Amino acid sequence: MSESLRTEERPLVAILMGSQSDWPILQGASEVLQHFSVPHEKSIVSAHRTPEKLRQYALTAADRGIKILIAGAGGAAHLPGMLAAYTPLPVLGVPVETRALRGMDSLLSIVQMPYGIPVGCLAIGEAGARNAALLAVSILSLENPTLAQLLRDFRSTQTQRVLDQRI
C-alpha cells in the first residue's frame, strides 16, 4: 500500500494508521467502506514520527471533503487523540493489538481522552476496525437516504443469517 492511496476522487472517510504494520487490521474497515461504496482514502500518519504531517492532515481534512476519520493505533496509541485535537470532525479510534499487552494499552490510551477532545473508541483489532467503518456508514447515512437503506439491508441480512442457523 502506498502512503496515500485513494479509492475515489473525493473521499468522505479517511483511514489512518501509524505505520504499515497496522494495515492488516485496518484493511477490514476499507473492505466495509467498499461494500457500501463509500469513497475513502488510506494514509500512514504517525503521531510520533510525523507530527507535522498529522497536524496538516487533520487541519485540512474537512476542507478536502473528509467527514469522518478512522484512526488505528497500537501501544501508546496517540494517533486518534492527536487527530481529534486538531479537527472537529468525528474521530473513531481503533486499538491495534500489541504483543506486550494484547491491545489493552492501546484501548486504555484511546478511551482516556480529556473532556473537550472526544474520540469514539471501538473494540481492539479487526472487529473494531470493521465496526468503525459501519459506524462511519451510520453517521453518513444521516444525510444520505440511499446509504441508510443499504445499512438497513445489511443489518437485516445479518439478522436473517442468525435466524436461519440450525443446530
Q: 13-164 — its CATH code? A: 3.40.50.1970
- Annotated binding residue 49: yes
Report the pLDDT averaged over residues 17-23: 96
pLDDT tens digit sequence for 140-162: 999 999 999 999 999 999 999 99
pLDDT tens digit sequence for 40-79: 999 999 999 999 999 999 999 999 999 999 999 999 999 9
Provide the 3-class DSSP secondary structure of residue 76.
coil
- Annotated binding residue 63: no
- Sorted by where each begins, the domain ranges of the chain are 13-164
- Annotated binding residue 161: no
Phi and psi dihedrals of 5, rounded to 5? -115, 115
The DSSP H or E segment spanning 120 is strand 120-121
Cell of 41: 482514502
DSSP 59-75: HHTGGGT--EEEEEEET
pTM here is: 0.92
How many CB atoms are closer than 10 A to CB 55? 17
